[in-house]
Structure 1
C-alpha cells in the first residue's frame, strides 16, 4: 500500500537530479531554523524585540552556516534551465514556461496574503492596536523579500540562459563586478540607492551559477568544487575580518553596511563557497537518494516547500502572545545560558504551530494549477503584455507588503497593506488570464 507521496517518489523520472531537490529542502529548513533562532522577544508595557545578533556578537560568524538563501537561487537556476529546456523541446515557448513556473509560486502566496490580510483586518475590527497589527503583518511578510527577487530572475531565465550560452561563466563574473561597483559607491559614502541594483544583480549571479551547473560549465567534481570552496571562503574572510564588510551574513542593526540589504560582494563570496560544497556533495547525495525512504522524505518536503517558507514567520507572530504575553516563557538576557536553554521549548512550539499551518494550507500548493501545455502554440501579443504587466504588479504588491510596518515606514497602516494586496491580486489575476489565453 503506497501513500500518494510514495507513489510520486516511485514515478520520479530516471534523469531527474535528486540532489537538487535535497539542496532545496535543506536550504529552506536552515533558513527557517536560522530565523527562529535569531528572534529575540521582549514584553513589558508593550511587545518588542529584535535579532540576537544585536546582543550576542559571537553569533555573527554562525550566520555563515544559516545564510543559505544563495543555495535556493543556485538550485533555482539549475532547475529553471532544466525545465525551460524540457518545455521548449516539447514545443512550448518562454512565456508559457514562465506562466507554468510561477503558478506553483503564486498560488500559495495568494492564499498566504489573503489569509494574513483577513486576519489583520479582523484583529483591528476587534479592537487591536493597528500599530501592533502592522508590526505583526510586517514580521509575517519577511519571507516576501526573497520572492520578489526570485520571481524576477525566473522571468529573466530565457535571457540568462541565452547569455550563458554566449559567454559562459563570464556572465556571473560580470554581475559580480557590477555588484562590487554598487558596494564601492556605498562604502565611499554615496546614497544607499547606489546599491539598489544589487538586489537583482547579486541574486541573478547566483542563479546564473545554477544555470552554468546545469549546462555543464561547472562539473560536480572535486577539481572544481574544492577551489570554489577554498576561494570563496578565502575571499569571504578577507572581505569581512579586516573589513570593510561586516561578518554577519544577515541583517545586523549594529552594522552600517548590511550584507543582504542589498546583497554584497561578501555574500557572493559565500555563495561561491556554497556552490562548491553543493558540487562536492553531488555524487554522495545522489547515491543516498536512490533509496526509497530518504527520497520520499525529500519529495514530501518539496511538496510543501513554499507553504513552509511563507508561513514560518507567521508561527513567530502566533508564538509571541501565546508564550510571552501570557508569561509562559521568561525573558532572560539574550545569549545567556538560560536564554539558550529556552530555545528548546521556543523551537518546539514554533515547529508545532508551523505544522498546523502547513496542514491547513499545503493543499493550495499541492493541487494542480492552470498551466499552458507545451504544445499550446506561441504566446500572442495580449498574453505577453498581460504576463509582463501582471508580473510587475505582483512584484510591486509584494514589495509594498514586505515594507508595511517596517522601520522604513513607521506610520504605515493596515490600509497600506490592503492597497499592496490589491496590486498583487491584480497582477495575479492578469497572470491567471494570461495562462487561460495561452491554453486556448
Structure 2
C-alpha cells in the first residue's frame, strides 16, 4: 500500500488512529453522498413512474414509463439512478464499523465482544432496517387487502402493489452484502482494487447470456454480485486502498465503457427498465450499470476534498443529517406519497397534466409541477413514521460509544444507509 493511499485528503478529517473508538469527527462528504443517493432514488421513481387513468373507467389505473414515449430523455436516468452510491456508502460504513468493533473496549479477556457487535454490529443494522419495514407492512398489508375486498379493478391493484413493493428489492441485497462484509474486507486487503474484477466478469458473462433468458436463482445471485462492485469500492476507501487519483480513473473508465456499451454494443441507453427495451440494465445489474456507478463515484472522489468545507456550514449540515436520519422512511414511503396525490387527483378528474394522463409530449415538464406536492406529502409521512419507529437499540448494545447513531460506522438509523456521517 502506497503512501499516496494513506495521506489524508485536504479538508476531510482522517479517522483517528490512536485506538479510541470515536473518530475525530464525521466525514460529511459521505453523509452528502447518501443524501444525494436517497434524493436520486425518490425523484427518479417519481419521474419515471407514470400512473394512467382509463378514459372510460377513471378508477382503473395502470403504469406507464415516460421513457417509452420520450426515449430522448433516457440520459436523465443516468443522474437519477443512484444505487451505486448507496452501496458504496454502505461498504464504506460497514468497513469502518468493523474497524471500530475490533478496537471496542467492551471486549472480554477472551477477546469476545457482545453478541450484537460480532459482525460489524450486524444485529443492530438488521434491527434498524426491520423497524421501519414493520410499520410499512402494518399499513400496506391491510391496505392491499382492502383494495381486494372492495373489488378494486385488477389493474389498479397491480399497479399499486408494484409501486409500493418493487423498490424493496434493494433491502435484501444490501443486507446480504452487510452479512458478507468480513470476507469482502479480507478480499480487499489481499487484492486491493483488483478485488472487483471477478464480480465484473460475472456481470459481463451474464450480459452475454441474457438473450436466452436467465434463471431466477442466477438473477438473484448476480444482483448481489453486481452491486458488490461499488460496495467493495466503499470498503477500499475505508481501508485506505482507494488512492486520490482513482476518481479520474473511475470517471474515465465508466464514461468510456458506458458510451461504448450503448453506442457500439447496443445496450439500452436508460439506466432503468423501460418496456420495449432489449432488457433492463437493473434486472440484474449490467455492465452499463457498473460503468454508471464508476462514473458517478469518480465524480464524487474528484469533488470530495472541495465539498468538505461547505458541508460544515450549519444549515447544509442539518439538511444532510436529516436526510440521512430519515433515509429508511424516505425510501419506504416515497411511492406512497405519490399514490396519495394521485388518488386525490382522481377526485378532480383524469385530465390533470403530469398526474393521470399518458406520459408523452410535455409530460415530464408537467410532472415537475407536481413534485413539490409529492415532497410535502412525503414530509408528512416521514414525520409521522419516523416518530412512530422505536429508537432504542437491541438489548446488548450498550454504552455511549456503541449506541445507534453515535458513530458513522454503525448508524444505519432509519435507513439502508449509514445515517450520521461516515
Instruction: State the TM-score, normalized to the length of structure 2.
Output: 0.80
What residue number does 2:277 align with?
Answer: 255
Over residues 361-388 of structure 1, what are the superposed CA-to-partner deviations in whole Å (9 max), with x where a residue is unaligned? 012457233153379xxxxxxxxxxxxx
Name which of 296, 308, 318 aligns with 2:318: 296
What residue number does 2:359 align with?
Answer: 334
Structure 2 unaligned segments of length 5 or more: list them: 1-21, 108-112, 400-422
Q: 1:111-150 counterparts in 2 under 5 A?
A: 111-129=135-153, 132-150=156-174
Paired residues of 1:182 and 1:197 also in contact (CA < 8 A): no
Q: State the superposition RMSD in angstroms.
A: 2.2
Q: CA deviation at 1:155?
A: 1.0
Residues 1:33 and 2:49 aligned together: no
Residues 1:87 and 2:121 aligned together: no
Q: How many residues align?
A: 360
Paired residues of 1:198 and 1:264 also in contact (CA < 8 A): no
Residues 1:16 and 2:26 aligned together: yes
Taking a change above 3 Å as real, the CA distance of residues 192 and 55 of structure 1, as seen in their structure-2 partners, is farther
| Partner Cα distance (1:163, 1:364) in 2 | 40
Q: 1:250-399 counterparts in 2 under 5 A?
A: 250-324=272-346, 326-327=348-349, 329-330=352-353, 333-337=358-362, 339-365=363-389, 367-370=391-394, 372-373=396-397
> SS state of the match for residue 262, structure 1?
coil
Taking a change above 3 Å as real, the CA distance of residues 131 and 34 of structure 1, as seen in their structure-2 partners, is closer
What residue number does 1:65 align with?
Answer: 79
Taking a change above 3 Å as real, the CA distance of residues 371 and 16 of structure 1, as seen in their structure-2 partners, is farther
> SS state of the match for residue 277, structure 1?
helix
Taking a change above 3 Å as real, the CA distance of residues 340 and 264 of structure 1, as seen in their structure-2 partners, is closer
| Partner Cα distance (2:134, 2:358) in 1 | 38
Paired residues of 2:188 and 2:236 also in contact (CA < 8 A): yes
What residue number does 2:242 align with?
Answer: 218
Residues 1:202 and 2:226 aligned together: yes
Q: CA deviation at 1:84?
A: 1.8
| Partner Cα distance (2:260, 2:398) in 1 | 48
Instruction: State the TM-score, normalized to the length of structure 1.
Output: 0.77
Q: 1:415-434 counterparts in 2 under 5 A?
A: none
Over residues 289-329 of structure 1, what are the superposed CA-to-partner deviations in whole Å (9 max), with x where a residue is unaligned? 22222112211111111100111111122222211453161
Q: CA deviation at 1:182?
A: 1.4
Taking a change above 3 Å as real, the CA distance of residues 229 and 107 of structure 1, as seen in their structure-2 partners, is same
- Shifted more, 51-60 versus 96-105: the winner is 96-105
What residue number does 1:389 align with?
Answer: none
> SS state of the match for residue 300, structure 1?
helix
Paired residues of 1:108 and 1:365 also in contact (CA < 8 A): yes
> SS state of the match for residue 49, structure 1?
strand
| Partner Cα distance (2:61, 2:155) in 1 | 11
